[in-house]
Structure 1
């Protein structure tokens, strides 16, 4: 189940002894088996003491696990820090790297206390995954050198240069151990039933057994005395270089931990991650790791997902796995020293390759973000982690700037439609399109823009004046806002605006026709343009439909014209101009077969008027509608005339309203008081809807369709002033809210 991360959510999961014993204890053993080979492999990959990886695994489990804001995240030696730490070890030595780790932990704590951790959510995923891919490639290339029996260099180009020589040297013992570990790691998850045993453990165990049985000449793990801790020392070098190293370790470790915490949240239904608290916990862990000579710590998604998959429910799984690692190193060091270094390199080789996700590449390609991803990954591989992230960030910002300032220009005959933000970066293309238009014609420049800067206004205005001097006419039609019109009046806008105020189809003619800039015509108008600007509003509405709506609905109407109408509902409602059936039912052409009359009445078959009956028969027998809806509304003039008896005798209205006399009788019946809180005319409108549903049953076609189970009747009531739609309960003349769809 997927959840959105909430950085301020509390932890509410109970963690009593039964829960720990049932779920967390078994999960902790799985994590322990995974963490041992990974911790040793990560440390070896950087040239750090192997014990540094073990120290960090213990601290990441016990300390960070106890303080963590993401209880199910597992922390330990940071995979994403391998390339950085390898460079620091080569430049400063391990003791100074431990001091840098300690300082980075202090910086992480400070960042966590400031609440800055939320900013990680605004970083482009393309940059983050590109960074991880670059790190993965760097790890894989470096560990391939180790598998071939060599010593990895500090950069990818250097390691690539080493590969031919290592291949020629032919250290087949290391190759055999590393290849065995890689093969098992890739194939073990496919073995039925046995795949519950962690693949890294099986891979290292198999490679170790193979090397021992065949007596392969391979370099093996060499654990120093557990008491021989490397204490941190102040790095030697320029202050700027040291500060950059501290900031780099802190930022990368924090980013990896926070992104892993967010991703882990999507894997479980337990408490959500508290990112600030998690960052403080990671910082505390790195302070202790640096003080004890451990590897920099970060949260890892691979270990965290294994924790969730193993059934862990609380932070005790992480704590216990740290305890088991400490016990194993203290009690079983001789067994660990049998492990070939090439086997650990094989595990790290596969881990690195898995950071390069093909599925992620496809997703980013579909969203147009692959360029940012590839640039970041390539930058990390060729230049380093910080440099690669800066390259990716620069490209992402340039693409965002292009998208924010890009406008589309479409020319259709003498109409030029511009959409987007119109700024100086895109004005050149617009002017080129405008200058291609034939001279001496009437041109409509249709602006759908949310921003227009001064350069764009000047360019449009200069072209317009020149075009009109040569005998043409230009009409600037602004659809969503009046940027050009305001600039023309010397009152230019300064900030982007939302589209508004209302789509023209949604609002009455009086609203959009009086909006400044709705139609801007030149001073000299033809008679047709004069009529359009000042004449019948329906004519302007027809013009609006032709220009804007018709191109959008033409494909749908063309299809309806070919296959004929197939509405599912007969909608009987009042002729009141404020009731728009398609608006209140969110429907379109071909959906509703409508009958409108004064008071939404359904005369019985014996009545003199047969038009409504004909529509009912056609809808039920020919169109096969499955629903008939009768919709009344508030402030109904017909109901007011009934209440007041104001229809003049002998008039057509008086004759028509005789069909509503049963509604009056129903309204005054003591057994159906209706909605007591409504005005009298509105209560009558509700009772009238209920009565018309009864009248429908008098029509034979309706009765037969209902008996056959192919037709249902529904009553609706539209409250105009509150824009609310209700269902009518005919048994009590009452109203019910529209239920939410299942």
Structure 2
């Protein structure tokens, strides 16, 4: 899946054209210079990385260069991504090292060839997206585990020693390795790492800045070792390409099963890494999106050729692909030419490679392995509550190996998903011997222990209102609740079950349960205007009202009945909410509140006439006195909004209105103090939207001051029993700002408060489906769990 800048998950868009047609669909002459320049940059990155990965894999060094050339030329020409660059990848290092150790290098080449054929088949059957079903947390945890394993092994090489057979052995053997004297190798390796760290931060200028850090580090370490004549181990290449060739070899009959598993493993890991890389690289350019099935065929073709020529397996590599996109590449020509440059390098400059110290490549690998452990990625997964999957996959790869680690990580990811899908919350409240219990979520056997524990705490002989707001109920959950109900009623109690969502309990009682997990009935945007929900907008207003009332009776009234029956005889609102009569401002929607939560006063301009004014308004004054004195609300909120017609009239100061608007003119006189506070003359020189915002917010502050002219309001505030709050609602962004008393400015609601919803709610501001009141504001449920006083 792709994720936009806000974290919104979107499916990647596939281009239906073949790569070569895409190549010609762009202005070729205009893009060729940029593609050639980018190909040289990627080539400079690819050479040291390919050599280092070959070292870490235990393969011949030339195998890394062969894979880099084939990955560029074949995958670039056949694949489906515009700028992705393929080559040997660190993610496959552990697998290849194990295969080389078990079967030898030539059988490993056969495994690479077979893996390529598997990838071609996967692409031909168009199942590329199926490979993306693996959780990204598992993939990134696997890569981090691979990074740790590579780093631990290469630290031994950097110190002049030999890597051990496993990560655990490398850890236990590290103290002894550190005690030995490896001064020349350590100096070269440390220099390489230091250059890698410092080079991107140096204030270099001009084209020098374009040189890749990996090339500069390896070249600098090589020059240092040669000038200092250090006695360190260096790269050893064969004398000729013919001598370097070591093609695939058929395995022994006893090894066929292991070879097949190895081929499937290489194909799957390379495919997933490639597809994730292709999607990530699509965010770096504005050209055609990757055709994932075509890309999989291209990767399979490249692996088939690389295995036949004696090269390492290839996959899409994020480091090279990122360098390619940032260097200005726009077509596959760049990837193809980068492979050509590698071939030229092998043919003409192989002797230069033999001057590279092995410790320099080890230092490069240690640096790469550290980069594979991304703390930013871990923080992102933690926000999505998948850090546990990442850490388990990482630890399992280090301790048990790559394949075992991926399997364990995948199992944990499934368990985490099951827990989320079957999560259930239970809220309870007791008032005057009457118990109210709300069950929300998917009620399966996994949630039965929690629900049963709560139900067992209900005393015998009491009346229980049980609200089931569940989208699924399995047989175990039904049996548990039904058995408890029968037992409770036998002891003299009574149980009233109200199913807010689907009638799972009722249907199972009649032995006719719904077949599948359900979704809420009606439209999900229950809060949208009539015209956006299929209502006939050409009907007269009375017809729209009747249509809305019919929908309410059909989908909502029955579900609200138990709530309203408890609210019918008493109200206990949590706030007096004073806002504008504007039809676009809906208090219960913007506060995610339900029946019984708000005592609302609405008028033009959300004005509160001052106590003792020459033109008093008994309506607003009566509402304030009743809410504060009789209902004893703990909070009073004044909420203004953008694009307010009353504020526009105050700002323009149109003078005496005509006779048809006489009442409006007198009413707006209560807002003159707000215009004075905001500075009407200065606002007239301010752009209209900003002037309206400043005046609307100044009006909120003024009305809060007007409230304090009421003795009952001032007295209760001074006693600490009443809180005054100012809010501002931006219609265009649908976001709320709150007045900060310390600064006098309106600031966005803190993120912590946005993310933390009431008990039992999935998230703050979550909107319930059509036909159901907001679950996180049910006054008989979650809202009342915060305050034991009843709502009815």
Is the Cα–Cα contact under 8 Å of residues 140 and 352 in structure 1 kept in the other structure?
yes
Aligned with residue 206 of structure 1, among 217, 220, 234: 220
Q: For residues 395-430 of structure 1, give each alpha carbon's deviation from its aligned partner in whole angstroms, at most 9, with x where no partner exists.
A: 111122222222111111110110111122221221
Confirm or deny: 8 A CA contact 2:76 2:85 kept in the other structure: yes
Q: Contact conserved, 2:82 with 2:287, CA < 8 A, in 1?
A: no
Could you tell me how far 1:89 is from its partner in structure 2? Answer: 1.0
2:521–2:555 Cα contact (<8 Å) kept: no
Structure 1 partner of 2:125: 114
Are residue 285 (structure 1) and residue 305 (structure 2) matched?
no
Counterparts of 1:345-364 in structure 2, within 5 Å, are: 345-364=362-381
Per-residue CA deviations over 1:498-539 (Å, capped at 9, x if unaligned) read: 12347999796766667799479xxxxxxxxxxx89xxxxxx
* Alpha-carbon distance between aligned partners in 2 of 1:591 and 1:264, rounded to the nearest angstrom: 51
Measure the CA separation in 1 of the matches of 2:589 and 2:459.
Answer: 45
Q: Deviations over 1:652-684 (max 9, x none)?
A: xxxxxxxxxxxxxxxxxxxxxxxxxxxxxxxxx
CA RMSD of aligned residues (A): 3.8
CA contact (8 A) 2:438 2:467 kept: yes
Partner of 2:384: 367
Secondary structure class of the residue paired with 1:424? coil
Partner of 1:498, secondary structure, is coil
Whether 1:85 aligns to 2:85 is no
Pairing 1:66–2:77 present: yes
2:602 corresponds to which residue? 593
Q: For the structure 1 residues 218 and 503, does the alpha-carbon distance in structure 2 shift closer, same or farther, using more than 3 Å as the test?
A: closer
Tell me the secondary structure at the aligned position of residue 241 of structure 2: coil
Quote how far apart the aligned CAs of 1:697 are: 8.2
- Going from structure 1 to structure 2, the CA distance change for 1:585 and 1:401 (only over 3 Å counts) comes to closer
Q: What secondary structure sits across from 1:376 in the alignment?
A: helix
> 1:9–1:271: 8 Å Cα contact kept in structure 2?
no
2:475 maps to 1:475: no
User: Does the CA-based 8 Å contact 1:478-1:517 persist in structure 2?
Assistant: no
Matching residue of 1:730? none
| Structure 2: segments with no counterpart, 5+ residues | 528-546, 605-614, 624-637, 647-656, 690-730, 735-792
Higher CA-based Rg? 1
- In structure 1, which of residues 212, 217, 233 is the aligned counterpart of residue 249 of structure 2? 233
Structure 1 residue 34 corresponds to structure 2 residue 45: yes
1:475, distance to aligned residue in structure 2 (A): 0.6
2:242 is paired with a residue whose SS is coil
Q: Is the 8 A contact 2:51 2:361 kept in 1?
A: yes
Task: Note the alpha carbon deviations across 1:410-463, whole angstroms, 9 max, x for none.
Answer: 111110110111122221221221121122221101110111122222221221
Q: CA deviation at 1:473?
A: 1.3
Aligned to 1:294: 311
Q: Is the CA contact (8 Å cut-off) linking 1:19 and 1:313 kept in structure 2?
A: no
1:728 equivalent in structure 2:
none
Change (3 A) 1:628 1:207: closer
Contact 2:132 2:272 in 1 (8 A): no
Q: 2:156 aligned with 1:145, yes or no?
A: yes
The equivalent of 1:221 in structure 2 is: 235
Residue 51 (1) aligns with residue 62 (2): yes
Distance 1:15 1:226, change over 3 A: farther
**d(CA) in 1 for partners of 2:123, 2:157:** 37
Partner of 1:324: 341
Match of 1:721 in 2: none
Q: Distance in 1 between matches of 2:582 and 2:45?
A: 66
TM-score w.r.t. the length of structure 1 is: 0.74
* Partners of 2:424 and 2:439 within 8 A in 1: yes
- Note if contact 2:15-2:288 (Cα within 8 Å) is conserved in structure 1: no
Q: Which residue of 1 aligns with 2:14?
A: 7
Indicate how the Cα distance of structure 1 residues 154 and 246 shifts in structure 2: closer, same or farther if over 3 A, else same: farther
Which of 481, 484, 491 is matched with 1:463 structurally? 484
Aligned-partner Cα distance in 1 for 2:234–2:73: 28
Match of residue 736 from structure 1: none
Change (3 A) 1:477 1:204: same
Structure-2 residue corresponding to 1:167? 178
**Conserved? CA contact 2:43–2:338, under 8 Å:** yes
- SS for the counterpart of 2:163 is coil
- 2:433 aligned with 1:417: no
Please say if residues 45 and 152 of structure 1, whose CA atoms lie closer than 8 Å, have aligned partners that are also in contact: no
Structure-1 separation of matches of 2:658 and 2:142: 66
Match of 2:473 among 438, 443, 452: 452
**Cα distance between partner residues in 1 of 2:732 and 2:663:** 32
What CA deviation, in whole Å up to 9, does each residue of 1:24-72 have, x standing for no partner? 1211111111111111111111221111111111111111111121121
Q: 1:20 aligns with which of 31, 45, 48?
A: 31
How many residues are treated as equivalent by the alignment? 602
Equivalence map 1:485-496=2 (5 Å): 485-496=506-517
Q: Distance in 2 between matches of 1:624 and 1:25?
A: 58
Give the conservation status (yes or no) of the 8 Å contact 2:131–2:271: no
Task: Describe the shift of the 1:347–1:56 C-alpha distance in structure 2 as closer, same or farther (beyond 3 A).
Answer: same
Q: How far did residue 391 of structure 1 move?
A: 0.2
5 Å matches for 1:357-396? 357-396=374-413
**Partners of 1:308 and 1:320 in 2: how far apart?**
14
Q: Secondary structure, in 3 states, of the residue corresponding to 2:446?
A: helix
Q: Does 1:696 align with 2:661?
A: yes
Task: Describe the SS at the equivalent of 2:203.
Answer: coil
